[in-house]
Structure 1
Amino acid sequence: MKVAIIGAGIGGLVCAVSLALEGHEVEVFEKEAGPGGKARRIAVSGTEIDAGPTVFTMRDVFDDVFAHAGERLEDHVILTKAEVLARHAWNDSEHLDLFADQQRSENAIGQFAGAKAAAEFRSFSQTAARAYAVLEDSFMRASKPSTPLALSWRIGLGRLSDQLAIRPFSSLWNVLGRHFSDPRLQQLFGRYATYCGSSPFEAPGTLSLVAHLEQRGVWLIDGGIHALAKALQALGEKHGVRYHFQASVDAILTHAAHGTPALSLANGERIGCDKIVANCDPNALARGCFGPKASKSVAPTPERERSLSALVWLAEAQTSGFALTHHNVMFSPDYIDEFQDIAEGKPPADPSIYICALDRDAGSGVELATGRERLQIIVNAPANGDTHEYSAEEKDQCTRAMMRSAQRCGLRLEDPLPHHLLTPNAFETLSPSTGGAIYGRASHGWAASFRRQAARTKIPWLYCAGGATHPGAGVPMAALSGLQAARSLMEDRASTPRFHPAATAGGMSMQSAKTASTP
């Protein structure tokens, strides 16, 4: 069977490997110059800087992908387990580290906010671990449940206490308010809603499980998540996957004569196949980015249900003051105002900021040796990249607001800051028809998970993968979506009688220098 995959993001790369290992002929078509999708690197003044996801969890998902191919992940990328999960700050005197060692985190919280807070953290950690245990196999690693009842069946109708433990009907903010009496800790753990592009005031309490996901382990990859993407590409090539870069797909078609699917490329080529996997935001399909046929395959995402976008500064600069580790978060003084600004369609005036100090490890060390360092700095923003053009003046205002937040917490950034700024406009260009929403549909309300696109679409030969599909956003979730797409495709093939007219056996691919596999 010949499968065409649109997009070489993490979901598409994992799907390609999985299908190739089952003996299928797989070709991947990517409009960018290399693999990774959002896990890309951008050159800023000649220096390559990670411009996508930086947090790597659920390592076992990728261990399994490589093990299935008879390989070891650690033979393809250099991994280091983080000692410090993240360093947090509210001002220049209130700093808190969370550690891979949960007891160290508990002790640190006790020193930061008192014995009561340490006990509250211990209780919260147990709740988060339980939520993760309930949903890991029933939801995250399984096909999308069609209804709440279907999920209840998987969990077990007799396990009512487990179903209530995931807190689907309370907001994460309210759940955290019942756990933590210190508002700083409520804000710290509320940030986990932004991991899937959502507001802690609207996301369900279920997202408390992200705290346990990190507690299970955060790893640093030498070369960043982009290095993982390149390792997956190499693994696919070893097993026969062909990759075509700078090969933009204009349309998904059906062959008029015999109804088999095909891709129409921007260079005029037509690629015949048996199945197609779209590793993109499903809204791109729904809004006609791949032609009228594909627009009928999935439901569109309403603008009001888009996830967050972001302002992302990529810089190589000198820093001083605050002792950066690899992952750092500096909180705004008023979280409610911050998310209200975003809800009103404007960047926050006084934002929280995340800083990935790419050249620092995640140990207890506090100082970089000397010189300049690479930084990725993120501020949450509305997904309005298709309706609002960020002017030079507005970009400068956002930069000034970000630098004020850093300075409030004791971090002095080189001023003027040499940087490249990605706005929601840039993310809309990367993922059309999303407004720059980085995480697909927002996880707002108890029913959000059931509205997320599944691997199967309304067209029997077209499947979806990627962080905007089930089970959701994030590097491991995107990988799980790729596995789900491959599994669904193979299950459907096994249960459907096969008939291929002799004229189309082997497909219709016509190779050219422009779409030939990139070495």
Structure 2
Amino acid sequence: MRQIVPKVVVVGAGMGGLASAIRLARAGCEVTLVEARDAPGGRMRALPSVAGPVDAGPTVLTLRSVFDDIFESCGQKLDDHLTLLPQPLLARHWWLDGSTLDLTTDLEANVEAVAAFAGTPEGERFRRFHELSARLYDAFDRPMMRAAKPDTRAIARAALKEPGIWPALLPGMTLDRLLRLCFRDPRLRQLFGRYATYVGGTPYASPGVLALIWAAEAQGVWAVEGGMHRLALALARLAEDQGVTIRYNAPVARILRQKGRASGVQLADGHSLHADHVVFNGDPAALLAGLLGDGPKDAVPEDRIHPRSLSAWVWSYAARAEGQPLVHHNVFFADDPRREFGPIAAGQMPEDATLYICAEDRAGGQVPDGPERFEIIMNGPPGRPARPEDFAQCRSRTFDRLRQFGLTFDPVPGEANLTPPAGFAKLFPGSQGSIYGLSPHGALASLKRPLARTALPGLWLAGGGAHPGAGVPMAALSGRHAAEAIVTDLASRSR
């Protein structure tokens, strides 16, 4: 008797789509991955420059084991496909008063650095914060981030065993409030409060549990030789090696529905691809907005999509930098965080922005001789329409501000090098420019993200807009959750 091979269409070649396609192909499915653009990566995109393709999306790679696991599931090693460069110096932090702080993967070195920066008592407070972050991470890793569905009972049991983390879990305990309990120096509160922006929130409204992000970084940060977009290319090659058919320049017009199930997709050119299952690796908000037809409009509840997380203005360019000893990851802090996040909450450009700079070509510790690649990120509000004055205003608030720190670029990039919130809205339909999906504001926000299984049978979600959330490894884990759920569903239907 001939065995029927399940057919799966994956929509979108971002981290979640690639991870799910690879695992489904390994499970014996016939997988077709369709991508609207001409390259894989989704938000992990790159723009051309005189120094080569420059990243215009994520720049920080943590939790390397997530990607080792993808390659090992195919009997291969990540290091045979990609060169990852460990970054012992996690980031260099700058303030306009001339103070700087380097943080590394070495706890004792960090305690000494913080003590030299802000005094011995703050060094010891940092040690206690490090321990709190590590305990939060341990409590939430398996039952939350690695689980297909948040296991609130397991989280509660872990919390009961660790009374030291209870303050971070109290109702109304924002990240900013927690950090005020942990540190006296406002610069340290500002530094670790910035972790809220990693998932698209502000420290004044995001829950204190986000302090665990420090523990994830302290475990190790890697750079991808050649740029983060190389990770997407390596995963796409691995997918094709496993038998996945990838079709680029193939935007999807509709997700088809038949007999109450997702039954495939119709491409923008009119061709249809029929399937037993469809994995949507895009912003779930696009489904609710009807951008993929009426069939999946009710697949995800609105309260799992709205309100939206932050957007950004992102510069990607090549230039010569002078004036400051940049490392791979650099953060130039605003004088007053309230003048950054207050305007953002009102839908405006920050008046006093914190600027993150990735000096892409310094990952190996060398300073290039000639133009090098840079990405600068300034947080911004979602849903902001394009305005004629935005470019000049953003350019001034970025490069005039950096000049105050003594850092200059030659040449200063032009409008083609800037992706504003409205640009992200156009690149990722339905997103309103939000980079991270559902806003993390509120104590229960992390429990509300949509799971892989949707209300429409046969339609599954993967990507940063689904559980477990934003970030490169989180998006890849969402792909694993979707693939495992489909395999379980196939086995159940077979029985």
TM-score (ref. length: structure 1)? 0.90
Matches within 5 A, 1:54-73: 54-73=59-78
**2:409 counterpart letter in structure 1:** L
SS in 2 for 1:271: strand
Which shifted more, 398-407 or 477-486?
398-407
Preserved contact between residue 315 and residue 374 of structure 1 (Cα < 8 Å): yes
Which shifted more, 94-103 or 239-248?
94-103
Instruction: State the match for 1:314 in structure 2.
Output: 316
Relative to 1, partners in 2 of residues 1:397 and 1:491: Cα closer, same or farther, differing over 3 Å? same
Is residue 463 from structure 1 mapped to residue 469 from structure 2 by the alignment? no
Which of 72, 79, 87 is matched with 1:82 structurally? Answer: 87
Preserved contact between residue 319 and residue 412 of structure 2 (Cα < 8 Å): no
Relative to 1, partners in 2 of residues 1:270 and 1:117: Cα closer, same or farther, differing over 3 Å? same
Preserved contact between residue 284 and residue 305 of structure 2 (Cα < 8 Å): no
Instruction: State the match for 2:352 in structure 1.
Output: 350
How far 1:451 moved relative to its partner?
Answer: 1.6
Is residue 115 from structure 1 mapped to residue 114 from structure 2 by the alignment? no
Preserved contact between residue 390 and residue 425 of structure 1 (Cα < 8 Å): no
Give the Cα separation in 2 of the matches to 1:27 and 1:303. 27
Instruction: State the match for 1:384 in structure 2.
Output: 383
Preserved contact between residue 337 and residue 352 of structure 2 (Cα < 8 Å): no
Give the Cα separation in 2 of the matches to 1:278 and 1:248. 12
Preserved contact between residue 333 and residue 353 of structure 2 (Cα < 8 Å): yes
Matches within 5 A, 1:350-429: 350-361=352-363, 363=365, 368-385=367-384, 388-391=385-388, 393-414=389-410, 416-418=412-414, 420-429=417-426
Instruction: State the match for 2:207 in structure 1.
Output: 204
Instruction: State the match for 2:442 in structure 1.
Output: 445
Query: Can you list the C-alpha shifts for 1:256-297, whole angstroms capped at 9, x where unaligned?
Result: 7x9660211001101100000000111011111110011111
Give the Cα separation in 2 of the matches to 1:340 and 1:399. 20
How far 1:361 moved relative to its partner?
Answer: 2.2
Give the Cα separation in 1 of the matches to 2:68 and 2:330. 27
How far 1:46 moved relative to its partner?
Answer: 7.7
Give the Cα separation in 1 of the matches to 2:444 and 2:88. 36
Relative to 1, partners in 2 of residues 1:143 and 1:37: Cα closer, same or farther, differing over 3 Å? same
Give the Cα separation in 1 of the matches to 2:450 and 2:262. 23
Give the Cα separation in 2 of the matches to 1:83 and 1:416. 30
Preserved contact between residue 85 and residue 214 of structure 1 (Cα < 8 Å): yes
Instruction: State the match for 1:430 in structure 2.
Output: 427
SS in 1 for 2:317: strand
How far 1:402 moved relative to its partner?
Answer: 0.9
Give the Cα separation in 2 of the matches to 1:136 and 1:86. 23
Which shifted more, 45-54 or 447-456?
45-54
SS in 2 for 1:295: coil
SS in 2 for 1:62: helix
How far 1:213 moved relative to its partner?
Answer: 0.2
Relative to 1, partners in 2 of residues 1:360 and 1:253: Cα closer, same or farther, differing over 3 Å? same
Is residue 19 from structure 1 mapped to residue 24 from structure 2 by the alignment? yes
Give the Cα separation in 2 of the matches to 1:112 and 1:309. 32
Instruction: State the match for 1:504 in structure 2.
Output: none
Matches within 5 A, 1:101-140: 101-140=106-145
Give the Cα separation in 2 of the matches to 1:465 and 1:74. 25
Instruction: State the match for 2:53 in structure 1.
Output: 48
How far 1:406 moved relative to its partner?
Answer: 1.3
Relative to 1, partners in 2 of residues 1:369 and 1:66: Cα closer, same or farther, differing over 3 Å? closer
SS in 1 for 2:92: strand
Query: Can you list the C-alpha shifts for 1:45-69, whole angstroms capped at 9, x where unaligned?
Result: 6842111101000000111111111
Preserved contact between residue 456 and residue 463 of structure 1 (Cα < 8 Å): yes
Query: Can you list the C-alpha shifts for 1:452-493, whole angstroms capped at 9, x where unaligned?
Result: 111110011100000111001000000000001111111122
Relative to 1, partners in 2 of residues 1:152 and 1:408: Cα closer, same or farther, differing over 3 Å? farther
Relative to 1, partners in 2 of residues 1:74 and 1:303: Cα closer, same or farther, differing over 3 Å? closer
How far 1:151 moved relative to its partner?
Answer: 0.5
Give the Cα separation in 1 of the matches to 2:375 and 2:71. 29
How far 1:373 moved relative to its partner?
Answer: 1.5
Relative to 1, partners in 2 of residues 1:260 and 1:189: Cα closer, same or farther, differing over 3 Å? closer
Instruction: State the match for 1:36 in structure 2.
Output: 41
Which shifted more, 296-305 or 351-360?
296-305
Relative to 1, partners in 2 of residues 1:378 and 1:259: Cα closer, same or farther, differing over 3 Å? closer
Give the Cα separation in 1 of the matches to 2:304 and 2:200. 15
Give the Cα separation in 2 of the matches to 1:57 and 1:46. 25
How far 1:152 moved relative to its partner?
Answer: 2.6
Give the Cα separation in 1 of the matches to 2:243 and 2:302. 34
SS in 2 for 1:108: helix
How far 1:93 moved relative to its partner?
Answer: 1.4
SS in 2 for 1:224: coil
Considering only aligned residues, what root-mean-square deviation do their CA atoms show, in Å? 1.9
Preserved contact between residue 256 and residue 266 of structure 2 (Cα < 8 Å): yes
**1:13 counterpart letter in structure 2:** L
Query: Can you list the C-alpha shifts for 1:364-390, whole angstroms capped at 9, x where unaligned?
Result: x6xx243221110000000024xx123
Query: Can you list the C-alpha shifts for 1:19-52, whole angstroms capped at 9, x where unaligned?
Result: 1111111110100101000101111468421111
Which of 293, 296, 308 is matched with 1:294 structurally? Answer: 296
Give the Cα separation in 2 of the matches to 1:209 and 1:234. 33
Is residue 228 from structure 1 mapped to residue 231 from structure 2 by the alignment? yes
How far 1:349 moved relative to its partner?
Answer: 1.6
How far 1:77 moved relative to its partner?
Answer: 0.5
Instruction: State the match for 1:218 in structure 2.
Output: 221
Is residue 161 from structure 1 mapped to residue 163 from structure 2 by the alignment? yes
Instruction: State the match for 1:501 in structure 2.
Output: none
Question: How much identity, in percent, do the aligned residues show?
Answer: 41
Which of 240, 247, 269 is matched with 2:243 structurally? Answer: 240
Preserved contact between residue 129 and residue 209 of structure 1 (Cα < 8 Å): yes
Preserved contact between residue 130 and residue 165 of structure 1 (Cα < 8 Å): no
Relative to 1, partners in 2 of residues 1:281 and 1:317: Cα closer, same or farther, differing over 3 Å? same
Matches within 5 A, 1:137-286: 137-145=142-150, 150-153=151-154, 155-156=156-157, 159=161, 161=163, 164=166, 166-167=168-169, 169=171, 170-255=173-258, 261-286=263-288
Q: How many residues matched?
A: 487
Give the Cα separation in 2 of the matches to 1:358 and 1:369. 10
**2:20 counterpart letter in structure 1:** C
Preserved contact between residue 85 and residue 362 of structure 1 (Cα < 8 Å): no
Which shifted more, 325-334 or 427-436?
427-436
Query: Can you list the C-alpha shifts for 1:184-236, whole angstroms capped at 9, x where unaligned?
Result: 00000001111111111100011000000000000111122211111111111
**2:381 counterpart letter in structure 1:** P
Give the Cα separation in 2 of the matches to 1:259 and 1:280. 19
Which shifted more, 400-409 or 71-80?
400-409
Preserved contact between residue 196 and residue 206 of structure 2 (Cα < 8 Å): yes
How far 1:409 moved relative to its partner?
Answer: 2.3
Instruction: State the match for 1:476 in structure 2.
Output: 473
Which runs of 5 or more structure 2 residues have no equivalent in the other structure? 1-5
Preserved contact between residue 305 and residue 449 of structure 2 (Cα < 8 Å): no
